C-alpha cells in the first residue's frame, strides 16, 4: 500500500494512494488517522486498513491533483541521516567508515511534495540537494540485531537532504545547516515494505531537468538492516522515525559542484519504484 499525508483547510490527515487516485482514510474508532499511527499499528493495523479500503466504493476516490500533499510523515520524532554511505565506483569494501556516520536533521525541517522552500540567504547561500532513500520505522526498535531489523521497517519514501555547504554555520556539526525550515522534503508518499525490495533501487536527483545524481541503493556501504541495528543499539527507534540512508556522489558534468541551488530551481529527487519528490527553490 501507499500512504500520503493530505492537507485540507490546514488540517493534515492520511490517504491511501492508488495509481493517480487518492482515498482519504476515515476508519472509525481505530486511531489510524496519520501515517505515523498506521506505522505504529503493526500488521494488525495494516490489515484493518486493508479491510476498510476494500469496503469503500470507487466514488470515494479523488484525483491526486486535487489535493495538497504534506510531508509523507509529518513531525516525525526523529530524522536520522547517514553520511558517506555510498561507495565510490570501483571502491574496495575496506573504504567504508569503521561505523555508520549518523547525524540528525531537526524534525521541524520536514515538508511535502511540491513545496516551495526559501530561507534567509544571510545564514547560508550555498545549499545543495541530496537524493536519499528514506526508511520509515514501524514497530519500535531497541538493540535489534541486523537479521531482525527489517521487521521494524514500515515502508520507504524519498527524502531530499538539503544541506548547507558552509561548515562555519554550526562549527562542523551538521545539525543547523541541514535543519532550516523546509530543508527536509519527504514524499510524495510512503510505500509499505511488502511492496518493494530496497536492495537495488536506482535513485537520483535532477535540477531543472539536469541529472546531478544517478546511482543505485546497491552501492550503500551499510545496508538498511545494519543501519537500523546500529542506531537501535544507541537510541530507541520509534514508529514514524525516518532514517535517510545516505546520498550518492554528485556527477561531474554540466552542473559542477560549485553550482548551488538558486531561486527558481526545480529539484526532483526520485527513487525507482517509490516515487518522485519535487521541490521548488524560492
List, as own/partner pairs, every contact residues 256-264 make where C-beta atoms lie below 8 angstroms and the sequence separation is at least 24, other chains included.
Answer: 260/125, 260/126, 260/127, 260/128, 260/165, 261/127, 261/128, 261/129, 261/162, 261/207, 263/118
Question: Could you tell me the smallest distance in angstroms from the CB atom of residue 282 to its own copies?
Answer: 16
Question: Could you tell me the smallest distance in angstroms from the CB atom of residue 63 to its own copies?
Answer: 33
- Which residue's CB is nearer to its own copies, number 175 or number 197? 175
- Could you tell me whether strands 242-244 and 275-281 are parallel, antiparallel, or unpaired per DSSP bridges? unpaired
User: Beta partners for 102?
Assistant: 82
Of 141, 169, 207, 274, the residue at the interface with its own copies (CB under 8 A) is: 169
CB 204 within 8 A of CB 215: yes
Span interacting with its own copies, options 20-28, 96-104, 187-195, 270-278, rule CB under 8 A:
96-104
Span interacting with its own copies, options 1-9, 155-163, 178-186, 198-206, rule CB under 8 A:
178-186
Question: Could you tell me the smallest distance in angstroms from the CB atom of residue 170 to its own copies?
Answer: 5
What residue has cell string 519528490?
A: 277
- Which residue's CB is nearer to its own copies, number 2 or number 152? 152
Which set of grid coordinates corresponds to residue 253?
558534468
Q: Is 61 helix (H, G, I), strand (E, B) or coil?
A: coil
Question: Could you tell me the smallest distance in angstroms from the CB atom of residue 214 to its own copies?
Answer: 26
Of 84, 196, 249, 261, the residue at the interface with its own copies (CB under 8 A) is: 84
d(CA 196, CA 134): 13
Binding flag, residue 43, its own copies (CB under 8 A): no
Of 106, 219, 250, 260, the residue at the interface with its own copies (CB under 8 A) is: 106
Q: How many residues bind its own copies (CB under 8 A)?
A: 37
Of 99, 209, 258, 264, the residue at the interface with its own copies (CB under 8 A) is: 99
User: Beta partners for 203?
Assistant: 215, 271
Question: Could you tell me the smallest distance in angstroms from the CB atom of residue 73 to its own copies?
Answer: 15
Binding flag, residue 193, its own copies (CB under 8 A): no
Binding flag, residue 13, its own copies (CB under 8 A): no
Binding flag, residue 97, its own copies (CB under 8 A): yes
User: Beta partners for 82?
Assistant: 102
- Which residue's CB is nearer to its own copies, number 78 or number 133? 78
- Which residue's CB is nearer to its own copies, number 171 or number 264? 171
Span interacting with its own copies, options 16-24, 98-106, 213-221, 259-267, rule CB under 8 A:
98-106
Binding flag, residue 181, its own copies (CB under 8 A): yes
> How distant, in Å, are the alpha carbons of 84, 227, 251 from that of 202?
18, 19, 15
Instruction: Please report which helix (H) or strand (E) contains residue 38, including its range.
Output: helix 35-40
Q: 10 Å Cβ neighbour count for 185?
A: 27
Closest CA to 271 of 254, 250, 248: 248
Site for its own copies in 237-276 (CB under 8 A): 238
CB 282 within 8 A of CB 142: no
Chain residues in the site for its own copies (CB under 8 A): 77-78, 83-84, 97-104, 106-109, 120, 123, 143, 168-176, 179-181, 231, 233-236, 238
Amino acid at each position: 500500500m501507499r500512504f500520503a499525508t493530505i492537507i485540507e483547510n490546514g488540517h493534515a490527515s492520511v490517504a491511501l494512494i492508488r495509481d493517480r487516485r487518492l482515498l482519504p482514510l476515515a476508519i472509525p474508532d481505530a486511531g489510524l488517522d496519520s501515517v505515523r499511527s498506521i506505522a505504529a499499528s503493526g500488521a494488525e493495523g495494516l490489515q484493518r486498513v486493508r479491510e476498510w479500503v476494500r469496503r469503500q466504493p470507487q466514488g470515494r476516490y479523488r484525483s491526486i491533483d486535487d489535493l495538497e500533499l504534506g510531508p509523507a510523515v509529518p513531525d516525525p520524532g526523529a530524522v536520522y541521516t547517514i553520511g558517506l554511505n555510498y561507495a565510490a565506483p570501483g571502491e574496495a569494501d575496506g573504504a567504508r567508515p569503521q561505523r555508520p556516520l549518523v547525524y540528525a536533521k531537526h524534525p521541524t525541517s520536514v515538508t511535502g511534495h511540491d513545496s516551495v522552500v526559501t530561507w534567509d540567504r544571510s545564514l547560508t547561500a550555498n545549499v545543495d540537494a541530496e537524493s536519499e532513500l528514506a526508511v520509515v520505522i514501524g514497530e519500535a526498535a531497541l538493540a535489534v540485531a541486523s537479521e531482525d531489523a527489517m521487521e521494524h521497517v514500515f515502508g520507504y519514501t524519498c527524502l531530499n537532504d538539503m544541506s548547507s555547504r558552509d561548515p562555519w554555520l554550526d562549527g562542523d556539526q551538521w545539525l543547523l545547516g541541514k535543519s532550516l525550515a523546509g530543508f527536509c522534503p519527504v514524499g510524495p508518499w510512503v510505500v509499505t515494505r511488502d511492496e518493494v525490495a530496497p536492495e537495488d533501487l536506482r535513485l537520483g536527483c535532477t535540477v531543472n531537468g539536469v541529472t546531478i545524481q544517478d546511482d543505485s541503493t546497491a552501492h550503500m556501504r551499510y545496508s538498511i538492516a545494519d543501519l537500523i541495528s546500529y542506531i537501535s543499539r544507541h537510541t530507541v527507534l520509534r514508529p514514524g522515525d525516518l532514517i535517510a540512508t545516505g546520498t550518492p556522489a554528485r556527477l561531474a558534468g554540466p552542473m559542477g559542484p560549485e553550482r548551488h541551488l538558486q531561486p527558481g530551481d526545480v529539484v526532483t529527487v526520485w527513487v525507482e519504484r517509490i516515487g518522485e519528490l519535487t521541490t521548488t527553490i524560492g
